Chain A
Amino acid sequence: MVLETDLAANMTSDVAISPAISHSSQVRLKKEGKNLMLLLPDETDSKGELSWSETWQELKHRLKSREQFWHNGGSVSLVAKDRLLDSRQLHTIAETLKEVELILATVCTNRRQTAVAAATAGYSVEQNKPGEASLNSEAKNPNTSELMAEPLYLRNTIRSGVEVRHPGTIIICGDLNPGGSAIADGDLFVWGRLRGVAHAGSAGNRKSRIMALQMEFTQLRIADQVARAPKVRPESFQPETAFISNKGISLARSDSFGKTYAFSVDGNYWQETNSIKNPKY
């Protein structure tokens, strides 16, 4: 039997959705070949500049919660772009990386002051002149890049006050607590209880889905649709999938979703194709 809770009644279509996730608004760790790249957010980012302490907090959070896909003792290239970093901040970053057995080796920057500070501290420096092709074409042209970033795998609980944004799919191995939020350009998996705010397809992809072992959300958002939690709390929970149907955001049991739903390109929503509501044997 397919359980489908219609949440469309609570839906408002003109709700402001969070701005498209900019590649440069978050601390990111990226693997390129053998090297690990640490990308810092731009200071000049339009949506609220991240202060240094916030950036550092976020870096620590990322390093602690991230699955260790690097080898201990690996070297890291810091991509600071236009961000100004003094020697003390560089030292702090190096110390923070050291805690997870990583070594800061190279600093890539467009700013002269940062380059001087890095060189003084003994890091190898790659300097780009402002305006020159960025080290990262993807970061430079986020809109033209059709490919989403590799999935972000997080191994701990997202607690109140933490917001995770990622230009791809997010996998959370833990709970998403109330007061916390996860915003993904792709799908969103919560291998635990989803109690906070979850947004999948935040760049507008209506095909994106949200999956959780226990759907106890504060709010679900897919693309430009929003749903609040139903007033009545269900007696028991099972793994469920949230998706966009013709009635707005709907929920279905995850074990049968793949077999019973297909994405209709004409309608731009998920449609029930293979109902197993009344199986005849």
Chain B
Amino acid sequence: MSRIIVVTSGKGGVGKTTVSSNLGAALAKLNNKVALVDADFGLRNLDLLLGLEERVVYTAIDVLAGECRLAQALVKHKSLNGLVLLPAAQNRNKESVSPDQMKKIIDALAKGYDYIIVDSPAGIELGFRNAIVAAKEALIVTTPEIAAVRDADRVIGLLEAEGVDNIHLIVNRVKPKMVQDNKMMSVEDVLELLGVPLIGVVPDDEKVIVATNKGEPLVIGESESIPGMTFLNIARRLGGEKVPFIDLMNLNENLISRLRRIFGG
């Protein structure tokens, strides 16, 4: 039985698409068959982050219009076997698809894959409804900022009303130094408010921006990066493994103390 997971946040710009692409890649790296679905019609980005833009021929709209078969619209990833993308149409807007159509297409996809990851658009309007209609599970992405957390809270309420009860939280873009200096909400503060179980904490890291611009998910690179490791850990936790959380606070300290040592401090 495949798992249909929606990645959503309410607020825009918190990292839904980054999480979707990296998590999809991480799951595929762990030998799962993964289909990523871009539900952000009119503002599609997922193909860019995966470096698949030039390979997109058909989109979900073409499948719905009967202009191609579902299998034809799926774009295979260059290096990760088992990772495919169902692109959204860029020349349409969110009103061009209905929740019923979306459910039909995702349910059809579900037959051949272990994981279906749906990248939801920002907001709580029709685009969001389309993204969550088939989902059984949800990953809420938030950053440690009050506006992002407030919107995440709203979205959790809407998901619960829709009967999506299996909800996990990813806190993105955490800056350990700022948390230590009491300038940023801590992960604990976020958890206390939202009251949903945590599945991952991703630090704010330049490597994420570099990887995004290159169109290459972090987990593909040979050299191990901290954000790449956090995405792999999230993928493992989704698979039911108990993986301890990386202590970002001490990591930071170690780095500083290491630097001190180097510079004879």
Cα A237 to Cα B161 in complex, Å, equals 31
**Most chain B CB neighbours (cut-off 10 Å) among A60, A61, A179, A195:** A179
**Contact B160–A179 (Cβ < 8 Å):** no
Answer whether A159 and B163 are a contact pair too, CB < 8 Å, given A175-B195, A179-B150.
Answer: no
Chain A residues with Cβ below 8 Å from B151 are 160
Interface assignment of B193: CB less than 8 Å from any CB of chain A:
yes
- The main secondary structure of chain B at its interface with chain A is helix
**Contact B161–A57 (Cβ < 8 Å):** yes
Contact with A along B147-173 (1 / 0, CB 8 A): 000110110111011110000000000
A248 CB, nearest partner CB in chain B, Å: 28
Chain A residues with Cβ below 8 Å from B154 are 159-161, 179
Interface residues of A in 62-114 (CB under 8 A from B): 64, 99
Residue of A nearest to B160 (CB): A64
**Contact A99–B163 (Cβ < 8 Å):** yes
**Contact A178–B150 (Cβ < 8 Å):** yes
**Contact B161–A161 (Cβ < 8 Å):** no
Cα A8 to Cα B136 in complex, Å, equals 48
Cα A193 to Cα B12 in complex, Å, equals 28
Residue of A nearest to B156 (CB): A159
Chain B residues with Cβ below 8 Å from A99 are 163
Chain B residues with Cβ below 8 Å from A179 are 150, 153-154
Chain B residues with Cβ below 8 Å from A64 are 160-161, 163
Interface assignment of A162: CB less than 8 Å from any CB of chain B:
yes
Contact with A along B191-209 (1 / 0, CB 8 A): 0010100000000000000
Chain A residues with Cβ below 8 Å from B157 are 159-162
Cα A20 to Cα B8 in complex, Å, equals 36
Interface residues of A in 157-192 (CB under 8 A from B): 157, 159-162, 175, 177-179
Interface residues of A in 131-162 (CB under 8 A from B): 156-157, 159-162
Cα A219 to Cα B161 in complex, Å, equals 26
Cα A178 to Cα B163 in complex, Å, equals 22
Contact with A along B44-81 (1 / 0, CB 8 A): 00000000000000000000000000000000000000
**Chain A residues at the B interface, C-beta cutoff of 8 Å:** 57, 60-61, 64, 99, 156-157, 159-162, 175, 177-179, 195
A-B contact pairs, 7 of them (CB 8 A): A61-B161, A99-B163, A159-B154, A159-B156, A160-B151, A175-B193, A178-B153
In the complex, the 9 A-B pairs of residues with the closest C-beta atoms, listed nearest first: A159-B157, A160-B153, A161-B154, A160-B154, A159-B153, A60-B161, A61-B161, A160-B150, A179-B150
With A159-B156, A175-B195 known, 19 other A-B pairs at CB within 8 A are: A60-B162, A60-B163, A61-B161, A64-B160, A64-B161, A64-B163, A99-B163, A157-B195, A159-B153, A159-B160, A160-B150, A160-B151, A161-B154, A161-B157, A177-B153, A177-B193, A178-B150, A178-B153, A195-B193
